[in-house]
Amino acid sequence: MTSEIKIQVTLDDDKMPETILWQAPDGGVPDLQKAKALLLSLWDGEEKTALRIDLWTSKMMISELNDFYYQTLFGLAETYVRATKNTELAGEIKEFAKSFMAKANAAMEAEK
């Protein structure tokens, strides 16, 4: 059995992401959905290296990016604890995520 996740990225004339669409029929997302950003990490076990694709559209606001990173960091902590059972390190990742968000919000307020 195989499962497919589809990602479509439309680029502007400068080859910057204009739209990001995705679907995962086996994951309950049968139709293409819009996204403003995408962080994809893959682990190459042979090379022992992480491969990443980080994309965002020009429509992504800094406040949205801050929230996206916060939620991603928090989600990584949840995944880490499920995979390792190491609640202490997962807690440290969550504390970092909270600190990150507080500092990001403070920076946004200072720019007003």
pLDDT in tens, 16-29: 999 999 999 999 99
- Helices and strands (H and E) in the chain: how many: 2, 5
Q: Is the sign of the CA dihedral 77, 81, 84, 86 positive or negative?
A: positive
Q: Are 7 and 22 in contact (CB under 8 A)?
A: yes
- Cα separation, 93 vs 102, in Å, equals 14
**Where do the domains of the chain lie?**
1-58, 61-107
Closest by CA position to 61, among listed 69, 53, 52:
69
- What whole-number distance in Å separates Cα of residue 101 and Cα of residue 24? 29
pLDDT at 32 over 90: yes
Is the C-alpha dihedral spanning 75, 76, 78, 79 positive or negative?
A: positive
For the chain, give the mean pLDDT: 96
pLDDT surpassing 90 at residue 51:
yes
Q: What pairs with residue 9 in β-bridges?
A: 20
- Give the model's pLDDT for residue 112: 80
Q: What is the DSSP letter of 12?
A: -
Q: Kindly report, residue by residue over 58-94, the tens digit of the pLDDT.
A: 999 999 999 999 999 999 999 999 999 999 999 999 9
pTM of this prediction exceeds 0.75: yes
